[in-house]
């Protein structure tokens, strides 16, 4: 790479750290790939076309690995399903995926509605609902109850407090720049992150041991995983189990809360969309029915198109691979820039317009639309996340009449922890309770 090209790639890395959607959308109409030089990871060749996405997502697992070092490793751990590759990934996925099958959502929807009701119970007319903060509380409570089966209020608060502190300690600089991860006499950002991660691991170990020794098996995800084995009859070790649970607690909560905030933002910026969501909600009474509403599902899908919370899909090649006509070598890191793919004008009509109806009558190709990744590495929690968002949005809008506090320039998506989030808090005014 020439000096000029290197400088440009480094500049894109800095831009990605401040405004990833802005960077990638700038390349939406480009048919040629572009390079970003990430500290610690090196050059990443990004593709924005359907051909590029197809070649990356359908590449054999023997040719691709999760790229390391990875920005999210300090939070989720080296054994996280997100970071495993090859046979280790296949075996872990076979144990972890079954509890998140779409048909099991019916066992969880009531808990999701209860968590939402609990969070908005004290809200009164005239209050300003801080959507991001509210969404974080709801989705964190959902994970603690649904994944771990924690019903004791004191234990839930303990999990919530430690998880929140861990995620806040993982700032963008610490996540993106590996050489900042240093303990300076027990002080500094890295020391704080490690301390909170250790506290969370202690809580996880206690929960695992209690469930194993009590013999209690509820319908939560932890119970299902404790009883699950791979095709050789092996379960997860305690270390692997902690990393997977930390991944679900951190990644699942962070991404869902961001999507919930963006969805409520878009719904209440467009009176037509808001009215149609309310009309559809008026036809149902139960959380299970909310989870099956087609227009609400389309609103969520459109939200994820414009704001994929994890904006990049990365693979490190273990052998040569041609991607969209570009010959890539062993060791190269290739990626899909989702914010660019999702607004590529060759693939979408009026790509920058929020229009849920585009998802009502057509199903986009998995190589055109991939908010949960794709192929053998597609997010195992995708069906759960979509159902969770429908129930949370539906419950809030059935209970609260909300309007925007201001309709000014929309916030940007900026890196926060392991996902992107709105650059400022989104506030909605409560007009009435229903």
Going by the DSSP 8-state scheme, the letter that residue 270 receives in this structure is -
- Beta-carbon contacts of 343 under 8 Å, excluding residues fewer than 6 positions away, are 25, 28, 305, 306, 351, 352
**Cα(366)–Cα(383) distance, integer angstroms:** 15
Query: What's the chain's Rg over C-alpha atoms?
Result: 21
Q: Is 379 labelled as part of a ligand binding site? A: yes
Tokens describing residue 48:
């924005």
Going by the DSSP 8-state scheme, the letter that residue 34 receives in this structure is E
**Cα(249)–Cα(272) distance, integer angstroms:** 35
- In DSSP terms, 421 is beta-bridged to 414
> Are the CB atoms for 418 and 75 separated by under 8 Å?
yes
Alpha-carbon dihedral of residues 242, 174, 38, 244, nearest 10 degrees? 10
- Please, what sign has the CA dihedral across residues 338, 340, 346, 349? positive
Question: If we measure between CA atoms, which residue out of 254, 237, 293 comes closest to residue 138?
Answer: 254
- In DSSP terms, 413 is beta-bridged to 422
**Cα(85)–Cα(374) distance, integer angstroms:** 15
Distance set, CA 52 to CA 24, 56, 59, 141, 312 (Å) = 15, 6, 11, 38, 13
Tokens describing residue 384:
């759960």
- The phi-psi region of residue 42 (left if phi > 0; otherwise alpha if psi is between -120 and 50; otherwise beta) is left
Q: Judging by beta carbons within 10 Å of its beta carbon (0-12, 13-18, 19+), is residue 215 exposed, middle or buried?
A: exposed
**Cα(236)–Cα(149) distance, integer angstroms:** 18
Residues comprising the binding site?
379
Residues comprising the binding site for heme?
379
């Amino acid at each position: 790479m020439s000096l000029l090209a290197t400088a440009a790639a480094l500049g894109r890395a800095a831009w990605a750290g401040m405004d990833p959607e802005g960077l990638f959308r700038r390349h939406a109409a480009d048919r040629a790939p572009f390079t970003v030089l990430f500290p610690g990871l090196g050059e990443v060749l990004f593709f924005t076309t359907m051909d590029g996405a197809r070649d990356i997502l359908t590449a054999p697992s023997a040719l691709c690995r999760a790229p390391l070092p990875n920005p999210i490793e300090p939070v989720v751990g080296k054994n996280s399903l997100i970071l495993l590759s090859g046979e280790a990934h296949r075996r872990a996925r076979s144990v972890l995926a079954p509890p998140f099958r779409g048909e099991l959502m019916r066992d969880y929807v009531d808990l999701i509605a209860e968590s939402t009701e609990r969070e908005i119970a004290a809200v009164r007319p005239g209050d300003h609902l801080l959507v991001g903060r509210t969404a974080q509380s709801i989705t964190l409570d959902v994970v603690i109850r649904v994944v771990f089966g924690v019903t004791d209020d004191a234990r839930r608060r303990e999990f919530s407090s430690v998880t929140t502190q861990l995620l806040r300690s993982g700032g963008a600089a610490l996540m993106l720049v590996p050489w900042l991860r240093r303990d300076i006499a027990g002080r500094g950002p890295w020391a704080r992150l490690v301390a909170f991660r250790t506290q969370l691991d202690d809580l996880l170990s206690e929960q695992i041991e209690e469930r194993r020794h009590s013999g209690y098996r509820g319908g939560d995800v932890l119970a299902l995983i404790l009883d699950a084995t791979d095709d050789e009859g092996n379960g997860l070790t305690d270390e692997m189990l902690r990393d997977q649970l930390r991944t679900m607690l951190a990644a699942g909560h962070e991404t869902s809360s961001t999507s919930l905030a963006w969805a409520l933002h878009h719904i209440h910026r467009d009176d037509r969309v808001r009215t149609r969501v309310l009309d559809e909600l008026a036809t149902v009474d139960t959380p299970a029915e909310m989870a099956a509403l087609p227009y609400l599902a389309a609103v969520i899908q459109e939200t994820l198109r414009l704001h994929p919370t994890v904006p990049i899909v990365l693979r490190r090649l273990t052998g040569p691979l041609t991607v969209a006509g570009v010959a890539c070598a062993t060791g190269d890191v290739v990626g899909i820039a989702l914010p660019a793919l999702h607004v590529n004008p060759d693939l979408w009509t009026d790509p920058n317009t929020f229009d849920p109806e585009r998802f009502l009558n057509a199903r986009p190709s998995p190589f055109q639309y991939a908010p949960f990744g794709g192929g053998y590495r597609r997010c195992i929690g995708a069906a759960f996340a979509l159902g969770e968002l429908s129930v949370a949005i539906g419950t809030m809008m059935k209970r609260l009449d909300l309007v925007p506090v201001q309709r000014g320039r929309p916030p940007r998506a900026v890196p926060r922890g392991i996902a992107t989030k709105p650059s400022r808090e989104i506030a909605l005014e409560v007009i009435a309770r229903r």
